Amino acid sequence: MAERLPSSLQWGLFLAVLLSSIVMFEPAPTDVLMVIVTVIAVVYGVLRYSASQSFGVFCILLLLLANILSLFFVQNAEVGLFYFIVTLYLSVMWFGIVGLGGRYFEKVLTTVIQAYVFTAIICAILGLAVYFQIIPIVNDWLLFGRVKLFFKDPNVYGPFLVLPSIYAILSFEQTKRFFWLCCFFVLVSGMTISFSRAAWLNIVISIVIYLIFAKQGEGINRIKLVFGMAVISILLLIFYTQFTGLDDQLSDRMSLQHYDNDRFAMQKEALITGLKNPIGIGPGQSEILFPLAPHNLYARILTENGFLGFTSFCAFLIVSIIKSFQSSRQLGSYSSYYVMISAVIIGHVANSFFIDSLHWRHLWLILALAWIPIRLEKEG
């Protein structure tokens, strides 16, 4: 029989994830709470790791080692140390959630997902209300006419809504409640007004992969779902473009931006710099060395943390996808959760070719979920 997750840890974890949508400054409220939860878990000795999680642990430790080695080559020690501390914290958060999941299994999985989905729905509703001026506009919640709310950038706000969008599809297929279909379109609408092209790519890839591999809702029901979603999406798009003035901003974002060529040039320069510096130039040094940030996770890690950092993190992403797909093949009511997690990680992997996502709290949450074992697998 599975152990019961202590209520103090459960509520602490729920609140920490609930506040993960407020990351305008560092340390964010979620950072403080997650550290407290992890420290309590360590003090009471409730973290548990299994051999199946050892490769993920090994990859994270190698990434941290690569950060430490590259710190010796920084141009700005203060920036480098701060950037490394954030990476270290996110790694500790991953260890904490995975360790709790190794002991309490699906209770940790559902607690994190429920809190994440709840705060994302609130963010999407609030974002729509701000963008369409249903409530007074707060300047700090917009950036160049794009919704970002409590995030530093619309390019983070948009991807934050991807997993909850897939969860809404999953829940609708399981419960057939119209509420979840409404949530899906609210979340996707919220993502749309972030005007993040990478987020749009992210959600399309995630939905396609989920619909292909999810076991539930196969056959005619899945066809009906896809057809219904397509029809409603078209109607919503017509409504938005014809009656809200959204069409001009959408068409502008769909075209090549004046800064795109500069971004691609910086990515090329970052790759060249990374190849010339096998140990890396140090955490957080890209903004100092280059006129623009590379806006590419992989180019940034290669440049800043060298071959070791690049290899370890890419291996970590790949094995996280494999682990979640393996868990999705297990029989049980949570198998679809792991299909969702796999799909969303793949979507974020694609997203990360166009934006640096290393310090996205929600990405590390999702990566942690991929390593929580299913209880049947653990006991068997």
pLDDT at 126: 95
pLDDT per residue as tens digits for the range 216-244? 656 667 777 777 777 877 777 777 666 66
pLDDT score of 374 more than 90: no
Q: Is 49 exposed, middle or buried (0-12, 13-18, 19+ CB in 10 A)?
A: middle
**Mean per-residue pLDDT for 118-146?**
89
Q: Is 154 exposed, middle or buried (0-12, 13-18, 19+ CB in 10 A)?
A: buried
pLDDT per residue as tens digits for the range 280-304? 999 999 989 988 888 899 999 999 9
Q: How far is CA 303 from CA 54, 76, 258, 268, 287, in A?
A: 27, 15, 25, 11, 11
pLDDT at 18: 97
Tell me the torsion sign for CA atoms 67, 69, 75, 76: positive
* Closest to 348 (Cα-Cα) out of 339, 337, 360: 360
Confidence of residue 197 (pLDDT cuts 50, 70, 90): very high
- pTM above threshold 0.95: no
DSSP assignment of 46-73, as one string?
-----GGGHHHHHHHHHHHHHHHHHGGG
Q: What is the mean pLDDT of the chain?
A: 89
pLDDT at 245: 64
Q: CB-side exposure of 153: number of CA atoms within 13 Å?
A: 12
pLDDT at 258: 66
**Mean per-residue pLDDT for 172-195?**
91
CB contact at 8 A, 163 and 340: yes
* Closest to 290 (Cα-Cα) out of 309, 311, 272: 272
User: How far apart, in whole angstroms, are the C-alpha atoms of residue 271 and residue 73?
Assistant: 17
* Closest to 309 (Cα-Cα) out of 54, 61, 56: 61
Tell me the torsion sign for CA atoms 56, 62, 68, 73: negative
User: How far apart, in whole angstroms, are the C-alpha atoms of residue 70 and residue 121?
Assistant: 39
Confidence of residue 365 (pLDDT cuts 50, 70, 90): very high
User: How far apart, in whole angstroms, are the C-alpha atoms of residue 247 and residue 254?
Assistant: 10
What stretches of 19-53 show up as alpha helix (H) in DSSP?
A: 29-43
Confidence of residue 375 (pLDDT cuts 50, 70, 90): confident
H/E element, 132: none
